[in-house]
Amino acid sequence: MIDFHMAEVSSIAENYGLTLRLLRKSHNMNLNILARKLNVSISYLSGVERGTKKANIELINKYSKIFNVKPYIIHYLAVEKDKESLKNNFISHIMKIMGSIEKWGLKD
């Protein structure tokens, strides 16, 4: 019997992990330095980025501050369906979101 709930949770964790890893790599930061800045272990952070551990809201908020990206943008990227496009065009995805925010006057 397949536990669909667990499959869904793991998929969500993988989506956030991919987004957080791409965010880190887009800033040319290695895992060791980021783990230190986030005050978490390297193994925990590696697990989050691989999707084997869940990212909590506190961790997402810390990423947000370190990389100067609003948490809702991280969430938007994590729910993006086209993961290959996200991997290949990460920065353009962020710029597209920022353009929409400015267009609709949704800035803070």
List pLDDT tens digits, range 13-64: 888 998 999 899 988 999 999 999 999 999 999 999 999 999 999 999 999 9
Decide: 59 and 27 in contact? Cβ < 8 Å: no
C-alpha closest to that of 91 among 73, 103, 107? 73
Structural domains counted in the chain:
1
Tell me, what CATH number does 98's domain have? 1.10.260.40
pTM of the model: 0.74
Helices (H) and strands (E) in the chain, counts: 7, 0
Instruction: List pLDDT tens digits, range 52-98.
Output: 999 999 999 999 999 988 898 888 888 876 677 766 676 676 767 66
Residues of the domain holding 13: 4-103
